[in-house]
């Protein structure tokens, strides 16, 4: 597995670590740079982040994204995968009339509120070039083709729920469905890393729930779960959440899939998701 991290580095500070030809400039103020996490400069990015904040009250980098690329052998030998929905759009369901029962959420971190109505979303806002997407509120939408593939291949653990384009009508979309995951018992364990950014594991626990529902702000590594919590479903979720409850944002469970589902998604070239190897211990 080759792991890299893409950073959005402030152009003013980029020459402290990178050559002028490295990366891609995004306008005049930001440079996109991707480096391997085993590159000595990776740890230097973390050091410069701390130094820049200390000296200037600014950041060396702002956005970041970790990517993992696997060999064919690693993928063929994997017993579990993480499903990461990368196609994200607005509005959130709540902005369109979808209701949540916040009384069912964790009183400390706000994770786990149950959806109390159908998902209301205008079809015109759903990305047409992606077959799996999610709103900024974490509601996952799949195409009719994905639904048919899941049914054809007897994918277990998934509920394909109605999506209503208008909250003033009970009419349901024929083209799009909400993906519900029926089982959420998988237990996340070490060596899974969850934290604020690649250099901050949140040792103070500022973004973790003391009751154990929310394990952190961002997933920083591959996921490992206990063997006893795996279950039998092809699609299932972790018990714990990652993220934050703020405005329209809600903490999300980590979605895991079987090799069968991975093969379906890859062979059918389903767009809108990235797959990572996950582990059972």
CA 278 and chain centroid, separation: 14
Q: What is the pLDDT of residue 107?
A: 96
Domain extents in the chain: 2-69, 77-280
Q: What is the pLDDT of residue 218?
A: 98
Per-block mean pLDDT, blocks of 10 residues, the chain (281 long)? 98 97 96 98 98 97 97 98 98 97 96 98 98 99 99 98 92 97 98 98 96 97 99 98 98 99 98 99 98
Q: How far apart are CA 22 and CA 2, in angstroms?
A: 19
Q: How far apart are CA 237 and CA 82, in angstroms?
A: 10
Q: Structure pTM?
A: 0.95
Q: What is the pLDDT of residue 169?
A: 85
CA atoms within 13 A on the CB side of 267: 8
Q: How far apart are CA 198 and CA 261, in angstroms?
A: 29
Q: What is the pLDDT of residue 170?
A: 85
């Amino acid at each position: 597995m080759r792991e890299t991290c893409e950073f959005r580095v402030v152009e003013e500070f980029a020459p402290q670590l990178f050559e002028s030809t490295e990366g891609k400039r995004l306008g005049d103020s930001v440079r996109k740079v991707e480096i391997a996490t085993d590159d000595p400069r990776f740890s230097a990015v973390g050091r410069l982040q701390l130094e820049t904040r200390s000296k200037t009250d600014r950041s060396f980098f702002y956005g970041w994204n970790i990517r993992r690329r696997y060999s064919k052998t690693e993928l063929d030998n994997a017993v579990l995968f993480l499903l990461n929905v990368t196609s994200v759009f607005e509005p959130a369901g709540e902005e369109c009339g979808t209701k949540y029962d916040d009384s069912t959420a964790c009183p400390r971190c706000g994770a786990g509120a149950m959806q109390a109505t159908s998902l209301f979303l205008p079809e015109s806002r759903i990305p047409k070039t992606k077959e799996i997407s999610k709103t900024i509120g974490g509601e996952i939408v799949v195409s009719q083709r994905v639904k048919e593939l899941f049914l054809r291949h007897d994918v277990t653990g998934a509920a394909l729920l109605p999506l209503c384009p208008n909250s003033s009508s009970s009419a349901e979309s024929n083209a799009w469905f909400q993906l519900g995951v029926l089982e959420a018992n998988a237990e996340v364990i070490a060596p899974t890393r969850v934290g604020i950014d690649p250099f901050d594991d949140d040792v103070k626990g500022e973004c973790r729930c003391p009751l154990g529902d929310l394990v952190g702000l961002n997933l920083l590594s591959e996921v490992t779960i206990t063997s006893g919590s795996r279950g039998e479903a092809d699609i299932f979720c972790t018990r714990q959440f990652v993220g934050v409850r703020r405005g329209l944002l809600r903490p999300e469970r980590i979605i895991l899939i079987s090799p069968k589902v991975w093969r379906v998604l890859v062979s059918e070239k389903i767009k809108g998701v990235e797959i990572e190897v996950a582990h059972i211990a």
